Amino acid sequence: MAIPHSASISFNPPRAQKGISQITKTCLPSIATVATTHKPSITLDLSLSTNASKLQDSLTKDCTLTEERIHIKHAQNVADVRHVVNKVGGDPSERLALVDAIQRLGIDYCFREEIEAFLKRQFLDVRNTDILKQHDLFTVSLCFRLLRQEGYHVSADVFGNFKDKEANFDAKLRKDTRGLMGLYEASQLRIEGEDILEEAANFSSQLLSLAMELLDHHQARIVKKTLEHPYRKSLARSTIKNFTRDFDDINGYKSTLQELANMEFNMVQTVHQQELFQVSKWWKDLGMAKELKLTRDQPLKWHMWPMAALTDPSLSEQRIDLTKPISLIYLIDDIFDVYGTLDELTLFTEAVNRWDTAATEELPRYMKICFKELYDITNEIGSKVYAKHGYNPAELLQKTWASLCNAFLVEARWFASGHIPKTEEYLNIGIVSSGIPVVLVHMFFLLGDAATKESANLVNENPGIITSIATLLRLWDDLGSAEDEEQDGHDGSYVKCYMEEHEGSSIESARQHITELISETWKQLNKECLSPNPFSATFTRASLNLARMVPMMYSYDENHRLPDLEEHIKSRIFDGASI
């Protein structure tokens, strides 16, 4: 299974205390409260065991502002930024920079209508006029990126203006560090066949890499971060602090933007802390960690996926609900990878395909418990979706679980027989066993994107947006597998399949091939996100965020740790009250 078996991250909740319910009652209903005291900064490693009592105390102390005062302050901050948005003049470069800043600060959901309206007007101007010919490389790159991010199919030919007579990018651009950074960012939205953006990516990355040696420390650090974490492929909330430190003021509006960003950061952080109490209590009550003595007792880490995907604070319930099937994916993966015999796994898979609790009678106790929880959670989510949106997706959810277990079983049989499949066969099964189809189908229904059987069929056969993200996860998993958590599992590897299929190839060449496949898969995903798109903007954004989360889950260091994930967890859950 490709949702990773990385090192252990656990979160041990205290028993439900009065403080939690009091927080819920006295603070914002969906955004909770604003931290006014310093939250505990907890040193993390990947065997994290948090001091939940400290977090409980912090939550209780933080609830010092009344609900009314919080609402008033938040509404005033939003109004101040909205005034800025409406005040910015006719110069599109200034407004583009403002939209970019709002998005990078993670407050764009507060101004979705204003941003959509402005970008729609900007797209019409770009399509119907030569307006971009009047602007420099940075502005053209920024406009292109923001419009592509919004789903508009802007032609990459807009960059032709920056080529010389030999059809190469103009050598004069090598001195334009800001423009090259914008060009590199824009090139990350390329789709298949856009050679000019391929050239742009190579041209800008090479020159920026060389420029770092000549820039001062501050500028070199910004360039390095851009090359390592381009906006398109990074979680916005993981880069907020760096952006806050580095971004240029926009006509004196920086403090106004930052004040709202600080408030939003802390409100959202408190929401996530409360979610973790609920998720951890659910997992503890489930009892599967004790039943199996799992090496992956990690509700904190599992909740990172929904936190990354669903960034709107109002989607707290959906994040909690989505964590449940994600935790079961990990659990079932452990059963197939570590605990079950092939005969037991076959019977378990048959039970899931039949969706019949009676079919588990001959299975070990832990498999019976797992199937019952799978059965109950699927029906619970189906009923909840029906109550809210008028359609019960339980049958389609069950189908995704059957597909997952069937794929797990194929991989288990490969391992048992010593069979090494061809790379294409391996990847086709790996897309399903990644767990991504299960996650995205559940998310699709939890977001209320299907009110009828016809609309539900959008996710019935793993559309391109799902298969692209699943491919990314599978390939990143195999890139990181050599540095994984030393788990005694039965996972295969694309690297092994590639080397078997290409006699004489090295591990390095196999890994390079995977890196190229990841780049090609991003092109496919970029295309899936362009309009017309059958999915809602909310689902598309959330799916893209899952893809952005993948590298963080697999970027192991030499100590088998995930430093980027550690830092992200510290920032999102435990760090103090300011960004």
**Which H or E run contains 49?**
strand 48-49
Where does the chain hold its CATH 1.50.10.130 domain(s)? Answer: 89-250
Cα distance between residue 391 and residue 387, in whole Å: 8
Q: Which CATH architecture has domain 259-554?
A: Orthogonal Bundle (1.10)
Look at residue 385 and give its three-state secondary structure. helix
Q: Which CATH architecture has domain 89-250?
A: Alpha/alpha barrel (1.50)
Cα distance between residue 57 and residue 19, in whole Å: 8
Report residue 136 CA to chain centroid gap. 32
| Helix, strand, coil share of the chain (percent; to 5) | 70, 0, 30
Tokens standing for residue 166: 């030999």
Where does the chain hold its CATH 1.10.600.10 domain(s)? Answer: 259-554
Residues sharing a CB contact under 8 Å with residue 23, sequence separation 6 or more, in sequence order: 32, 33, 59, 60, 63, 270, 274
Go through 539-572 and write b for each residue having 16 or more CB atoms within 10 A of its CB, e for each that does not: bbbbbbbbbbbbbbbbbbeeeebbebbbebbebb
- Which of 536, 522, 519 is closest to 445 using CA atoms? 536
Cα distance between residue 228 and residue 136, in whole Å: 24
Residue 202 φ/ψ region, left for φ over 0, alpha for ψ in the -120 to 50 degree band, beta for the rest: alpha
Look at residue 48 and give its three-state secondary structure. strand
Burial (CB < 10 A; 0-12, 13-18, 19+), residue 295, is middle
Q: Give pLDDT tens digits along the chain (579 positions).
A: 455 444 444 444 433 333 333 323 323 333 333 333 332 333 344 334 344 444 455 444 444 456 678 778 889 999 999 999 988 867 788 999 999 999 999 999 999 999 999 999 999 989 887 777 889 999 999 999 999 999 999 999 999 999 999 999 999 999 999 999 999 999 999 999 999 999 999 999 999 999 999 999 999 999 999 999 999 999 988 888 888 888 877 778 889 999 999 999 888 998 999 999 999 999 988 888 887 775 578 899 999 999 999 999 999 999 999 999 999 999 999 999 988 999 999 999 999 999 999 999 999 999 999 999 999 999 999 999 999 999 999 999 999 999 999 999 999 999 999 999 999 999 999 999 999 999 999 999 999 998 778 888 899 888 999 999 999 999 999 987 644 444 444 556 899 999 999 999 999 999 999 999 999 999 999 999 998 999 999 999 999 999 999 999 888 888 888 888 988 998 888 876 566
